[in-house]
Structure 1
Amino acid sequence: MSDKLFTGLGLPHDELIAFKESLSARQLRKGEYFITEGQLSVHLALIESGYLRTFHLDHQGNEITTEFNGPGTFCSSYHSFYSQRPAYESIEAVTDCQLFLIRFDALQKLYAQSLSLNVMGRKALEKACMDRDYFLKKIIHLPAKDKYEWFLKVYPEVYRAARLGDIASFLGIKQETLSRIRRKLSLNQ
């Protein structure tokens, strides 16, 4: 386990030890699923390396990417994890990933024993909510070119590894539009 990954959690030493002891390691290869729609999400993942893509299917069966998560972030089908009901989304590895997993019951036990872990959990959820809110209220309304330029700044590794269609669906634009923007930007460089 990389100490760098855990230093940013803000936990006192003894609580950090208890948290680490509750984790199990899991590797995913590019294209493998962390969870699929209809499964119960029993784990919350802390990503050490790699990127995960969260998506759901629209009424026509098209994949709609709703989130990318990378190193140092938590990821799960949150609705499923916290409600302990089946997921209505899937999470796939965009790249090879190294994850640390904590089970729902283990996390609840740690929350009951530690105010610091409660604060850490709340801050992680607050960050996820703020990032999502910012994306939905600010980025999604930008012109397609500006969305793509924002994506390049925020997700440079995902840009190199993800499929063009996944990026386009995340940005809410057509794949053909994204291809055209990429061509124009590469010609201008």
Structure 2
Amino acid sequence: MKVENFSTNGLISFIKNTYPVSDFTANLIADNFEPVILPKHQLTLREGSINSDYIFLETGYMRSYVLDIDGNEVTTNIFKPNEMVFEVESYFQRKPSNENIETITRCIVWIGKYEKCQRLFHTLPEFREFGRAILVKGFTELKQRTVSMIKEKSERRYENLLLESPDIFRNVPLKFIASYLGITNTSLSRLRK
């Protein structure tokens, strides 16, 4: 649901904290995003479609997931407030996505459509640098998660997530957290005790 009269303050603050830009440039970037309220459990990207939305998640929680060979959902990422949400390969290479992205809670988001963002990438060096900063952060987090899944025991992955993002445990169903950690619901329940 598109909304009117939403303040861009959160989006502008996020832009400026991600890459230092002037107030004028931050406002110029923010003017290319539209505020939308998304209900709980709404897909914003379906596997097989092309990701055309560059989403700033202002409030709420979202996740990306894939279906494994048995048809089970496996959570690949959990997104919290003040993060960008998009599927990199599909967005930039215009390929059908292998992932689904859905809201876990009701969310307020700011959506930058592909065409508008491409215009910004090509005309505004500060937006290119902002985008690069987002990609570097995402790549670094993915690399850390991949290494963690190989080198650390489930207990350590659980402890790290609890330390870094305790809010996730208050807002995200445990089955999604367990899947994200690469463990069963039963194992997560045991760890929480």
TM-score normalised by L of structure 1: 0.90
Distance 1:42 1:130 in 2: 23
Q: Which residue of 1 aligns with 2:9?
A: 3
Deviates more, 1:89-98 or 1:140-149: 140-149
Letter paired with 2:63: R
Partner of 1:63: 73
Distance in 1 between residues matched to 2:69 and 2:158, nearest whole Å: 26
Conserved in 1, the CA contact under 8 Å of 2:12 and 2:27?
A: no
Map of 1:92-131 to 2, 5 A cutoff? 92-131=102-141
- In 1, Cα distance between equivalents of 2:145 and 2:118: 29
Contact 2:45 2:51 in 1 (8 A): yes
Secondary structure in structure 2 of the residue aligned to 1:118: helix
Report how far residue 2 of structure 1 moved. 4.2
Residues 97-176 of structure 1: pairs in structure 2 closer than 5 A: 97-138=107-148, 140-176=150-186
- Residue-pair matches, total: 183
CA distance in 1: counterparts of 2:151 and 2:178, whole angstroms:
14
Name the SS of the counterpart of 1:56 in structure 2.
strand
CA contact (8 A) 2:149 2:182 kept: no
- Amino acid of the residue matched to residue 106 of structure 2? D
Measure how far apart 1:139 and its partner are: 5.2
Q: Structure 1's 140 and 157: CA in aligned 2 closer, same or farther, altered over 3 A?
A: farther
In the alignment, is the contact (CA less than 8 A) between 1:66 and 1:170 conserved in 2?
A: yes
Answer whether contact 2:148 2:157 (CA < 8 A) is retained.
no
Q: Partners of 2:62 and 2:44 in 1: how far apart? A: 8
Alignment correspondent of 1:46: 56
Q: Distance in 2 between matches of 1:159 and 1:4?
A: 23
Unaligned runs of 5+ in 1: 184-189
Q: Distance in 1 between matches of 2:103 and 2:22?
A: 31
TM (norm. structure 2) is 0.88
Q: Is residue 31–residue 93 contact of structure 1 (8 Å, CA) maintained in 2?
A: yes
CA distance in 2, matches of 1:177, 1:122: 37
CA distance in 2, matches of 1:23, 1:120: 15
Cα offsets for 1:55-95 (capped at 9, x unmatched): 10000001111111111111112211111122111111122
Q: CA RMSD of the aligned region, Å?
A: 1.5
